[in-house]
Structure 1
Amino acid sequence: MKFVDWYVKIGVVSALIGASMELFMIKTGFYDQVTVLEAEKRTWENSPEAQAIKEALNPWRNHDAQPRKNS
């Protein structure tokens, strides 16, 4: 292959960029913040208020319960 060294260089540079991004996210506490936000989001989604809003905004909630008139 003619361009093997080019592909190797691109692979090495890409791996270094990815590793530096991961290191930056670890050092700045990004993953800790995201974990807290996801936990709060899941808590809210499972709350009775969120369930009530979800059901109120769903226009198809009674669609399956109604009998079909064409049959």
Structure 2
Amino acid sequence: MSGRPAGPVRRERGGTSRVHDGSFTGRTVPGRGLAAELLVRAGIPVFHQGQLPQAAALLDRLDRLDRLDRQPSG
């Protein structure tokens, strides 16, 4: 690929859609973890393991774009 960020796939408990609420009780609330949030802010999509078809579709699109970019012009 041409250096485009493809997007990491993280475990659901890895902080892509739920985070601990700060009470140290193990309770979680909707939200992103720090790493996931920083990646998203940088424009890199983050997927959880339940979104593997979406991640694969993004990789396919990026691969097609990369092949178009490498075609000789003219």
Class of the TM-score when normalised by the shorter of the 2 chains: 0.3 to 0.5
Q: Which has the higher helix share?
A: 1
TM-score, normalised via structure 1 length: 0.37
TM-score, normalised via structure 2 length: 0.36
The higher-RCO structure (CA 8 Å, 6+ apart) is 2
Q: Which has the higher strand share?
A: 2
